Amino acid sequence: MQKVLVSFRFFNEWIKFLKDNGLEVKAWDSPVPPSKIWIKENISDADGLLCSLVNRIDREVIDAAKKLKVISTFSVGYDHIDVNYAKSKKIRIGYTPEVLTDATADLIFGLILAVARRIVEGDRLIRFGKWNQPWTPDFMLGTEVNGKVLGIVGMGRIGKALIKRAKGFGMKVIYNSRTKKDVDAEFVDLDYLAKESDFVVLAVDLNPTTYHIVNKDFIEKMKRSAFLINASRGKVIDETALTEALKLGKIRGAALDVFEEEPISSDNPLIKLENVVLTPHIGSATYETRQKMAEVSVKNLLAGIKGEQMIYEL
Ligand code: NAP
């Protein structure tokens, strides 16, 4: 019997699906991810690995695997896997693009609106009993989204889905990517994007060229009235530089779904800032999308084990 290792808490019905397909399944069952030692011990005789972004699949883990044919990740991002090393060992890699694009783009728009229109701040105000003045024309003013410039860094699947939404909100879109794309938006360099955007959204994958792509220099170039939104990976922003800039009012606000350290530590200074909206890495977290991701990742895993074509392979 072929064996698969599931190294994060996964849906029971999809574990059953793997078993019904004749596989022996060893599955981790806690929200706290397993140690590297546990993964190394259990991957040694596994034919397939189903992992997520909470697992670091580095050389050491890959070297511990003696029969591994496939790594299937329950994510579109693959910065947690040493892809080149795995491929050099003839291990195939499956991932879940496309199926989470719309859910993530929707969340990003939610973040844009939430931070610009102070939605979460208003909710806090009511809950903490601080809504104690009648309506006045200057109360809780936010920033209009319509007519503003949206600067998208990274014009991939999510970037393109953002253009569609931005048009509906009457925004002008500019973007930067490594390569120019055939999209209804203006291709600009990163400096120009930083200077001209009212909303900067990061939609890049995490790779050596995007690590801290938003740093002190970038933020210095942004308008004081601008907002920064990130639902890609935490490490694309220098969080210390961002926190400092927010404290000093160098930009108006930020909305973040991802962080350099996750879960965010309770003494992270971002938590204390009013002009920041924080969500706990929920970009793709809808019932519908997580089911699609489960189906794709499980089918990728099965295809990898059987030597068949995967739905999405790196
Ligand atoms: P994608 O289609 O691969 O798009 C990534 C884009 O980033 C590409 O267009 C690429 O440009 C661009 N890029 C890479 N390096 C760059 C650089 N140095 N400068 C400018 N642009 C650069 O990926 P996607 O499906 O849109 O997803 C993007 C990322 O979002 C994922 O990798 C994942 O980490 C994250 N994500 C997060 C959540 C969440 O829950 N918060 C959900 C889904 C995805 P080229 O095409 O020119 O190479």
State whether 197 and 263 are in the same domain.
yes
Query: Which tokens go with 141?
Result: 């003013």
Indicate the pTM of the whole model.
0.97
Active-site residue list: 233, 262, 281
What's the CA gap between 82 and 59, in Å, rounded? Answer: 7
Are 181 and 153 part of one and the same domain? yes
Closest atom of ligand 1 to CA, residue 257: 41
One domain for residues 59 and 135: no
Residues 6+ positions from 41 with CB-CB distance below 8 Å: 64
Spacing, Cα 159 to ligand 1 middle (Å)? 8
Atom of ligand 1 nearest to the CA of 213: 18
| pLDDT (0 to 100) of residue 13 | 98
Q: Round to whole Å and give the CA distance between 144 and 309.
A: 47
Q: Within this chain, do residues 17 and 110 fall inside the same structural domain, yes or no?
A: no
Give the closest residue (by CA) to ligand 1 atom 38: 283
Task: Looking at the structure, tell me whether residues 152 and 295 fall in a common domain.
Answer: no
Per-residue model confidence as pLDDT tens for the chain (314 residues)? 999 999 999 999 999 999 999 999 999 999 999 999 999 999 999 999 999 999 999 999 999 999 999 999 999 999 999 999 999 999 999 999 999 999 999 999 999 999 999 999 999 999 999 999 999 999 999 999 999 999 999 999 999 999 999 999 999 999 999 999 999 999 999 999 999 999 999 999 999 999 999 999 999 999 999 999 999 999 999 999 999 999 999 999 999 999 999 999 999 999 999 999 999 999 999 999 999 999 999 999 999 999 999 999 99
**Are residues 209 and 136 part of one domain?**
yes
Is the domain of 45 the same as that of 127? no
Domain that holds residue 17: 3-98+287-306
pLDDT digits (tens, 9 = 90+) for 192-203: 999 999 999 999
pLDDT at 223: 98
Query: Could you tell me if 195 and 260 lie in one domain?
Result: yes
Residue 314 domain flag: no
CATH code assigned at 53: 3.40.50.720
Output the CA 245–ligand 1 centroid distance in Å: 25
Same domain, 114 and 158: yes
> Ligand 1: which residue has its CA nearest to atom 37?
232
Q: Whole-angstrom Cα distance, residue 63 to residue 94?
A: 19
- For 58-72, write each residue's pLDDT tens digit: 999 999 999 999 999
Q: Are residues 62 and 151 in the same domain?
A: no
Nearest-CA residue for ligand 1 atom 29 is 205
Residue 232 in domain: yes
Query: How many Å lie between the centroid of ligand 1 and the Cα of residue 203?
Result: 5
